[in-house]
Amino acid sequence: MVGGALIRHGDGLVLVGNRRRDRTLEWTPPGGVIDHGETLLAGLTREVLEETGLVVTSWHGCRYTVTVDAPDMGWRLGVEAWEADAVSGDVVIADPDGIVEEVRHVSLAEAPGLLQYSPPWVHVPVSAWLAGSAETAYKFVLHGAERSGGRVERVE
């Protein structure tokens, strides 16, 4: 399971720049894989701290879920995106995975330009949430043997 943190900042949100194996920079909300034995919120709080230096002391609730099936690669991704309620601290990147290179507080106007470099299973629900959508479940299928060259389809 993966947790994603929706942290409002002004009229926008906090995004992190993740350097991928193919050297592209992908902008996403902070978050990551929840470790075995961790609750989702404990793991998500840890991920936010590691990736941004920010401390989330409470959460509003789960805003949406995402499922991505990649049958040609034999994996399934499950994500729960939670909205942060109370956040404190200063931005400090201490990502033990070495993936996060930058943290930005982006405006509503700036977000689509950065999110376009993330996969549809990231930018579609984040953009909808920012626009006030009440949709709570997103499902995608990734066709192909490689993530970067695959075709993504949204399914109902």
CATH fold group of domain 2-64+83-134: Nucleoside Triphosphate Pyrophosphohydrolase (3.90.79)
What is 113-131 written as a DSSP string? HHHTTS-HHHHHHHHHHHT
Contact 5, 84 (CB under 8 A): yes
pLDDT at 20: 86
Of the candidates 12, 16, 81, 2, which has an alpha carbon nearest to the alpha carbon of residue 50?
A: 16
Q: How confident is the model at residue 23 (pLDDT cuts 50, 70, 90)?
A: confident
Say whether pLDDT at 145 is over 80.
yes
Report the C-alpha gap between 125 and 112 in whole angstroms: 12
Q: How confident is the model at residue 99 (pLDDT cuts 50, 70, 90)?
A: very high
Of the candidates 102, 100, 60, 56, which has an alpha carbon nearest to the alpha carbon of residue 81?
A: 60
Give pTM, 2 decimals: 0.94
* Residue range 40-94, pLDDT digits in tens: 999 999 999 999 999 999 999 999 999 999 999 999 999 999 999 999 999 999 8
Report the C-alpha gap between 156 and 138 in whole angstroms: 8
DSSP 51: H
Furthest CA-CA distance within the chain: 42
pLDDT at 10: 84
Report the C-alpha gap between 31 and 25 in whole angstroms: 16
Say whether pLDDT at 148 is over 80.
no
Say whether pLDDT at 147 is over 90.
no
Report the C-alpha gap between 104 and 6 in whole angstroms: 13
- Report domain extents, the chain: 2-64+83-134
Report the C-alpha gap between 81 and 83 in whole angstroms: 7
User: Considering only 58-67, 124-133, 142-151, which range has the smallest mean pLDDT?
Assistant: 142-151
